[in-house]
Structure 1
C-alpha cells in the first residue's frame, strides 16, 4: 500500500504496532472465524485495551483524541486481513461519532468509555425489510408514552447485529411525516421487547455477524434519544460522508491486496513451460489493474485530506464510493481469472475477496444512489 502524504513518524509507529497486534491476535484465527461465521467478542476487548477502538473519542471519555488519519490506518490494516472485520470500523467511525457529535454530556459519559474499551459493541439500524435507500419510508415506530418511547418494528441486514450492546435505531416518532418524522434512539441489549433473529447467511463476509432485529412494545427511556426529536434524518445525512469514505477506503485496500497477490501468483505459476507472468495478456491485465489502483490511491488520499480538514466533499465521496467499489469488483473477477482453477478454491485468498467485494456496491447507499447524488450535484 502506498504511503499517504499526511503520514508522520507517529502514524508509522501506530501502523507498525497495529500490524504486529493483528498478526498475533487476528491473522492466525481469521480462517477459523470465517468457518464458524463469527468474530469472538474477546477480540473487541483486546482491540480496546490496545487503543484501537474509537481513537477519535476525547480523552475525558477514555479515548485517545486522535484525528481521522489514525482511523484510516486501522481501517486499512483490518481490511488487509479480511473484509469480515468491517464491523470494527462501523463501530468506531460510523456509530460512535453519532454519540460524540449529537449526544448530550450524560449520554457521552454513560456510553463512550465502554465503546472505547470494547465493553459496548455498537450497531446502527436503518434498513428494514421494506425500506433501504428510501429511508423516509421506514415503518419502525416509536410512540411517546410519558417518559418513554414504545418501539415496534423490524430491522434487517444489521452489521454487528448479534454482538451489539447498543443499537442506534432510526425510528419514526411522527409516523405520518416523512424525513421530518425520523428520530434516533439508542436501544440497549436486554431492554424488554428487543430481540434478535438468526444470523443471516451471506454470500461473503462470513465472519461478520449480520442479523435481523425485532422490537415488540420495546420501552426505551426518553434519555436514550440522540439529539432532538424529528432531526434524525438530518443527523444521518451529516455522517454519511464519512461512512461512504470508509467504504471507499476498504475497496481501495482490497483492490491493492488482490493485485499484489495476483502478481505473486502469476510469477510462480507455470504454463507451457514458462511463468504465466511472461504472457502478454497477463502483463496487460496487471498493468491495467495496477494503474487503476494507483489512480484510486491518489483520489482517496485527496479525499481523506479534505475530510480531515472539515470540507464538504459529498459529491467526490459519492464518486469514490461508486467507482472504487466497482473497480474492486472488476479487479476481483480479473484476478480470479488469472489464478485459473486455483482461484476458485477456498484455499486461495482471491476466492474470499471475490465473494466479499460485491456487497460494497450495495451497502452505505447503493451505487445507483451514489450516481443519483452525483447527477444532482453536477446540476442535472
Structure 2
C-alpha cells in the first residue's frame, strides 16, 4: 500500500468545492489534429504516474492507487465546440479523487478554427512547479506524435509515490524541535484591525483585489535587494513586516509563505504535490532602520528554510492544534510571490501559449 505524502494528508479528496483545482489553458493557433493532441495528453499520463492515481480510503487510511487501464486514462480527455461556460466548467468543476483521476482536459475548437485546451489538475497530484514540467513534456510528446511516433523519454529517476514512501519513513523530530523553539511565546492570532466582526466559521467566500505595480517600483525593489545582497521576496516581506507592525502595534510577527519543497534536484522533474507552508517569525523590536529589518527578515527566512522538511500540518498539530475558530492556524497574514509567465512554444507551424488561470 502506498500512503499519502505528508503534503497530501489534509487535502480534501471529496468533490465539494474546487478549492484544490490548478487550472490552466493552452491557446493553440495553426493546423491541429485532435487525435494528435489526445495521444500527446495520454503520453503525459503514462509518463507521470501521479496523474493516473486515485486516492481511495482503506482500512489503513487513504492510499494511492495507480490506474493503468487505457480506457480510464482516455476518459479524462474530450473535444467539444468552444463556449466560455464550457471552459469554465472544465476549469472549476470539483474532483472526487477518491474514485476519479485527478486531471481533466477538453480541446475546444473556435469558429475561427483555432483551439483552446482547457485543463485542470487536482492539487493532490501536482503543484505550480509541476505545470512547467507538464508544459515541457507536452511539447515533446506533441512533436513526436505529429511525426507519427511515440516520444522517446529519458527514464524518470523516480515517481511521486517513491517520495511518499520515503517521507513516511523519514523522521521529522529535529525539524519539529526547531519549530517548538522558534515559535515559542509568539501569538498566533495577531491580525490587522477589521472593519466588521470576523465570522467564526470558514465559508471560503473571500475576494481578490487586483492592482498594478509599475515598472519603476519593481526596479526599485530590485535595487534594494541588490544593495543588501538579498532577494525581491525578502524586501517585500520586510516591507510587509513593517506595515503589520504599524497596523497592529506588535513587533514580533509571524507571516506565512508557501515554498516549492523541492530541495533535492532529483525532485525538479517530478510531477506531484511538494508545496509546503512556513510560518516565518521576525522580531523587529530592536531594528532602527529598514536595512536592519531586512537583515532580521533574511536571517529568519534562512532559519525557516533550513527546517522546512516537516509539513505545515505536522507543525500545526504540534504547536497550534484545532479548533481554529475564526482564524488561520499559526498566522493570519501570508505572502506569496508568484511569477506567472505565459509559456510559448511552436511545433512546426502550430503555436501554443500556456496560460495559468488565477481563479477558476
Q: Calculate the TM-score normalised by the size of structure 1.
A: 0.24
Q: Please report the TM-score for the alignment, with normalisation by the length of structure 2.
A: 0.25
Structure with bigger gyration radius: 2
